[in-house]
Structure 1
Amino acid sequence: MTTLSDTSRWLPLDDLAPGFDANKAPVAGDLDDREFVLRDADGPVFTWNGSAPGETFLVDDGLYYVQLDPGGAREAVSLVLDVRDGRALVVTTRIGNAGTPRVTQEFRPATIDGIEARGEPMAPSTALIGRRVLWVYSPEHAYEHVYLSPHWYTWQCLAGPERGLADTDENTVYRVRPGIHVFTWREKVIPCASVTVADHRDARSLRSHGVLFGLDATGERPTHFTFGAHGRLLSTTVHPGHLDPAES
């Protein structure tokens, strides 16, 4: 157990991948023949054709998570498309040459051409702060997340090849629909980042869909894989108002 703090011995991203996708949802083909033009106040943000390489997952009625295949590039694009309410979010994850974290992310809320935009735009949220959640990715992989602040969360591996490891890393949360959030994180030890779409509406039966993207064991080649998880709320911390990290 003395090696837990020796980060040089932590698994590279590609060694974590085998079996991690056991709880991934079936790929949806609903959008295969459609094209979507996403735009914000400054103009077009992204155009996606359903036939482009990647995977699409149904999150909720009319709500989809699309992970485009980066094809070996050092940039990956994730889309959240609400075809019911005409809203979207484009998350671009980039592998840099240096810096901490090495992998960074950009967020662009958008509307969908041809669909009337209803409700609130997808926007940053503090709704997860104070929650402690168990996520199970496979019969062998389980982690807990503690959402600390708008900038930080803590993870701990409870089962799997990283069992016993834990760290606190950067996170960003966007509200998609009531109780459904985009939760992303950027690790400082292993050069990788993740995008997940997490449904927190039922505390006893959470569901998420996501991707991990970063560098392999060589530290040179991009690696990328999608996954899914079932979860449950373990506890909630309620801070006194003047000490609430959500208000910082």
Structure 2
Amino acid sequence: MTSSSDWITVGALADGFAPEAFILPNLAELAGQAFTLHFANGWQIEHRFEQDRLAWHAADGHSSGSAAYRATSIRPGLYLVDFVKHEAGRSWSISLVLDTANASFTAVIGRLPDQAQTHEGLYHRALAGKPLTSVDVDFLHGSLDRPWQDGHCLHAPTDELVGLRNQYRYSPSEVYEHIYLNERFYAWQCLKGVEQGLCDTDRCHYYKIAEQLYLFVWQEKIVPTLGLVLIDLQQHRSDGKIFGYAGASFDALSNFPISSYCQVLNHTEYPRD
């Protein structure tokens, strides 16, 4: 059990989550398949899946490469593909929600702060009008294997989780709860595990993918962390990842899977004026 001030690195968190983790299996069924992602912003990037690696190639030739990937499916016809892209001396977290049933996708692109940015205090960031977190994230949408047209991707911001208090059991030893406060922030606390006793309120984003299926993304401000999960309230399961620096030296990354059995504890509805 940690004391109230014992914040740990993302690498130490990964070690805590690993034993007997309830992670979904990495799917092999995408191997040999290819999808061309037509982004709403005009990008066109082919993604070709091999057994252990994913290769991408942009139509304009400005970006190509390959990386090890993880692919899971929390519902039929829906894949979460996650990898880390290293290019031009920088690293990005890339997560793709591939909705094959609707021939559409959502891409989540995350970037961690450099060492200098982490030395900028929260008070200074607040007075400067900056977000308290120094973790950046962008959301891009598009269509699969067909030119983009408005309305092709139905994944959209939602407030349907606001007011929900949900418990997540990631392993026999790691249990958390989330309270979705409003459209921009949520609160979390560790009920059991390597962060037991720790809690915070952080920036977050919600997208509805299908009925009772949500993409939830958060950006932590104390230890630079990007978290991403698909939450299936029908099956009481979640699946995703946590991305951050493995240690305190900023020279290694940790990008580890997290899956849970989740349970709604209650739902707060505020009285109307």
With structure 1 as the length reference, what TM-score do the two structures score? 0.87
Q: Does 1:78 align with 2:95?
A: yes
Residue 82 of structure 2: which of 67, 76, 81 is its match? 67
Aligned counterpart for 1:94 among listed residues 87, 101, 111: 111
The one-letter code matched in structure 1 to 2:80 is Y
- Fraction of identical pairs, as percent: 30
Give, in angstroms, the shift of residue 114 of structure 1. 4.4
> Residue deviations 1:175-198, cap 9 Å, x none?
111111110110011111111111
- Cα distance in 1, alignment partners of residues 30 and 255 from structure 2: 22
- CA distance, structure 2, for counterparts of residue 139 and residue 121 of structure 1: 36
Task: Give, in whole Å, the separation in 2 of the partners of 1:215 and 1:3.
Answer: 22
Amino acid at match of 2:11: D
Choose from 104, 108, 111 the match for 2:140.
108
| Aligned residue number for residue 266 of structure 2 | 235
- Tell which deviates more after alignment, 193-202 or 42-51: 42-51
Cα deviation digits, residues 51-102 of structure 1 (max 9, x gap): 2120100111101111114469531100000111111000001012326412
Per the alignment, residue 128 of structure 2 pairs with: none
8 Å Cα contact 1:83-1:115 kept in structure 2: no
- 3-state secondary structure, aligned to 2:190: strand
Distance, in Å, in 2 between the alignment partners of 1:120 and 1:92 is 17
Aligned to 1:40: 39
- AA at the equivalent of 1:89: T
Runs of 5+ in structure 1 lacking a partner? Answer: 243-248
CA drift at 1:44: 2.5
**Partner Cα separation in structure 2 for residue 26 and residue 115 of structure 1:** 32
Root-mean-square deviation over aligned CA pairs: 2.3
Match of 1:198 in 2: 231
The aligned residue for residue 245 of structure 1 is none
> Which amino acid in the other structure matches residue 231 of structure 1?
C
What is the distance in 1 between the residues matched to 2:92 and 2:148? 30
Check whether the contact 2:38–2:148 (CA below 8 A) recurs between aligned residues: no
- Mapped to 2, the partners of 1:219 and 1:173 lie a distance apart of 32
CA distance in 2, matches of 1:61, 1:2: 39
Aligned residues: 236
Q: CA deviation at 1:128?
A: 0.4
Mapped contact 2:162–2:180 kept (Cα < 8 A): yes
Query: Is the contact made by 1:63 and 1:84 (CA closer than 8 Å) also made in structure 2?
Result: yes
